[in-house]
Amino acid sequence: MTTLVAGPSSAGKSTFIQHNYPASRTIYGFEITEHTALPSGIVHYNILFRAGAAAASELDSLPPDWDFMAEPKFRTIIASGQIDKAIVIVAPIAELRERMAIRQAVEPMRASPGRYPNRKWLDILSKVDLFAIYERLFGALDAAFIPYDVLYSSAAFSSDGEPVFLPSDRAHTHQNLRGIYHPSP
């Protein structure tokens, strides 16, 4: 089966996958088409994909949150029936801004990563309601009966500046986004 690793750009999805699933086949959400057969392994999905795929002129007209099932790539992932579990990564918004500002490469795990569009992602982050987007994601996963774990991604608990991933839960997402960590019950 396949695990969905989801979170916004710069949340730590690639780092998490590298540390926890180094030998797994990874497919990125942007590579998926309605005809893609998901492999056994990992689906790496940016929950802000819809905004990232929009032209700069369209960003102001995007709603601050959206229906994930209306996004064809996400709908294909869910409709595949291959996702047996999701890992939802939540990072503090302040850390996301810092990571987005200094990041240089898009998907460094790929053979030929491109240049990261820092300004675009910072602009997107300023326009979306990230908490509402997470709630929509949890709702879509619940509706598809896909169990999920929530991980808090922060460098605040690290000695080397790399994010660490601590167990959290849906109920603490709002606090996690503000940089407050509570262990999951």
Name the average pLDDT for the chain: 89
The stretches of the chain forming alpha helices (DSSP H) are 13-20, 49-53, 72-79, 93-102, 118-127, 130-143, 173-177
Q: Is residue 184 part of a domain?
A: no
Instruction: Concatenate the DSSP letters of all residues of 85-123 into one string.
Output: EEEEEE--HHHHHHHHHH--BS-TTSSS--B--HHHHHH
Q: Compare 36 and 143 and report the one with higher pLDDT.
A: 143
Residue 183 pLDDT grade (very low, low, confident, very high; cuts 50, 70, 90) = confident
Give the pLDDT band (50/70/90) at residue 57. Answer: confident
User: 1: pLDDT confidence band, cut at 50, 70 and 90?
Assistant: confident
Q: pLDDT-based confidence at 106, cuts 50/70/90?
A: confident
The answer to whether residue 84 is domain-embedded is yes
What residues are paired with 7 via a beta bridge?
A: 46
Predicted pLDDT of residue 73: 92
pLDDT of residue 10: 92
Q: What crossing angle do the helices spanning 118-127 and 93-102 adopt, rounded to 10°?
A: 160
Q: Which domain holds residue 151?
A: 2-177
Tally the domains of the chain. 1
Residue 77 belongs to some domain of the structure: yes
Domain assignment of residue 183, yes or no: no
Q: What sign results for the dihedral spanned by CA atoms 40, 41, 47, 51?
A: negative
Residues 138 and 87: their CA atoms lie apart, in Å, by 11
Beta strands 41-46; 83-90: pairing state = unpaired
- Residue 185 placed within a domain: no
CB distance 57 to 19 below 8 Å: no
Q: If you average pLDDT over residues 28-34, what whole number do you get?
A: 88
Residue-level pLDDT at 65: 80
- Mean pLDDT, residues 99-122 taken together: 77
Place of tokens 């460094």: 108
* Any domain includes 182: no
CATH number assigned to the domain comprising residue 14: 3.40.50
Asked if pLDDT for residue 87 goes beyond 70, the answer is: yes
Q: How sure is the predictor about 109, in pLDDT bands with cuts at 50, 70 and 90?
A: low
pLDDT at 74: 94
Q: Would you state the structure tokens that stand for residue 59, as one six-digit string?
A: 């960003």
Q: pLDDT per residue over 145-176, tens digit each?
A: 999 999 999 988 887 877 899 999 999 999 99
